[in-house]
Structure 1
Amino acid sequence: MNIAIIGATGFVGQHLVTEALQRGHEVKAIARNVAQLTAGNGLTPVQADITDVPALAAALKGSDIVLSAFNAGWQNPELYNDFLAGSKAIQQAVKEAGVQRLIVVGGAGSLYIAPGQQLVDSPDFPEAYKAGATAARDYLDLLKQEPVIDWTFFSPAIEMHPGITTGRTGQYRTALDSPVFDAAQHSRLSVEDLAVALLDETETPKHSRQRFTAAY
């Protein structure tokens, strides 16, 4: 399968690249700076500005699916606006490229922790992550109106960060709009197993035009 991965050098994106290559796929790794990527063995680095829709569309042409791990930068004071603008640009470029499938890595903030209450609106939600989580939540609402692309939106586990050192187990459980909790009421997933979950979805689609989440 020909897979285009946007944000290929980021925390999530680089693990998506690794997992896809290990499964034998051809990967087009798209990033602002591709200096750390080496072409060959199924990998084609492509430098691109995601806000340049025609150029991005040209880069995506011929792909079977686009996996977007776009992140506007947690320290970016314009994170909310830049995330929405970048995500909409990617969506438009996917359409212009004629690619039928798009998987977006969003946030956990839009998951429902109680009837009518999303995690991002809970009183204990960290302020430092609120702009990004709100942007991802609002983009999901926009994506639900997409009439052409066969999209999937992925919300990671509530705890999915470099401190989760479980590594690649290949094991996870899924849900749609509410977090997956373990017996100790933790929602955790390693970034390696996030990549497993998304490549499984890439190869065997189960969440067409849906959001899903995964955790242990």
Structure 2
Amino acid sequence: MKIAVVAADGRVAKKVIAEALQRGHEVVAFGRHDINETPAKTYIKKDILALTKEDLQGFDAVVDAFGAWTPEALPGHSTTTAHLADILSGTNVRLLIVGGAGSLYVDPDHTTQLVDTPDFPDAFKPLATAMGKALAELRLRKDVKWTYISPAADFQADGERTGKYILAGEEFKLNSKNESIISYADYAIAMVDEIEKGQHIKQRISVVRA
């Protein structure tokens, strides 16, 4: 398959690129750095908001790995997702979003999200709120083949690649050890599995270490 990874300079993006390449897929990385620091052989320096429909033609899937943490940059989660949805509107190109855990529901009625629970760290609430807003806006799009993939609450950059994960849905899930944890490497496996299988169009899914 031919896969585009945008905001490719981040650590999650690099893991996704490496996983896809290992499986024999063709990957083009789009990033803002002057030098290609990703595993991809083809790197194009271009900001997400500068991407055009023509840039993403011919791809089977686009992975949006955008991340922002400073208060002034947090609205970028909505604007970048909306821009990618706009330029992929009406096409067969899939849009897969590297999401957050804060918007996962903790009740079967889906009225309370993880971000709203008492133990959710205050420091991460602005980020979780911004990412949750982007997801809510994405849900309104009927013209895009999107999939939003939430990691476990403890999303570990340097965690081991176990090769195993539990695929879940909208609700916050713990594994058999009562943990909500996954490494970037195992998350990347789940992302590329989803790209290959394409089973969750216009859905949010989540993953946790098995």
TM more than 0.5: yes
Q: 2:153 aligns with which of 144, 154, 158?
A: 158
Q: Partner of 2:75 in structure 1?
A: 81
**Structure 1 SS opposite 2:66:** coil
Aligned-partner Cα distance in 2 for 1:170–1:108: 20
Find the partner of 2:41 among 26, 43, 65: 43
| Structure 1 unpaired stretches of 5+ | none
Matched with 1:146 is 141
Change (3 A) 1:157 1:34: farther
**How big is the shift at 1:38?**
7.0
Provide the C-alpha distance between the structure 1 equivalents of 2:71 and 2:147, rounded to a whole number of angstroms. Answer: 28
Name the % identity: 37
Amino acid at match of 1:21: L
Q: Does 1:58 align with 2:51?
A: no
The match for 1:211 is: 204
Deviation of 1:121 after TM superposition, in Å, equals 1.1
Residues in 2 aligned to 1:102 and 1:51: alpha-carbon distance in whole angstroms: 15
Correspondences of 1:116-195 after superposition (within 5 Å): 116-162=111-157, 165=159, 167-195=160-188
Distance 2:36 2:30 in 1: 12
Classify the secondary structure of the residue corresponding to 1:169: coil
How far did 1:58 drift?
2.8
**Deviating 4+ runs (over 3 angstroms):** 36-39
Q: CA deviation at 1:126?
A: 1.6
| Count of residue correspondences | 207
Give the partner amino acid of 2:46: A
- Tell me the TM-score normalised to structure 1 length: 0.89
Note the C-alpha offset of 1:34: 4.7
Q: Letter of the aligned partner of 2:54 in structure 1?
A: A
Root-mean-square deviation over aligned CA pairs:
1.8
Q: TM-score, normalised by structure 2?
A: 0.91
Deviation at 1:161, TM superposition (A): 2.3
Amino acid at match of 2:97: V
Answer whether contact 1:66 1:99 (CA < 8 A) is retained. no
Q: Distance in 1 between matches of 2:186 and 2:38?
A: 24
Question: 2:34, 2:123 → 1: CA distance?
Answer: 28
SS of equivalent to 1:59: coil
Q: CA deviation at 1:77?
A: 2.0
Where in structure 2 are there 5+ consecutive unaligned residues? none
Instruction: Determine the C-alpha separation between the residues in 1 that align with 2:84 and 2:202.
Output: 17
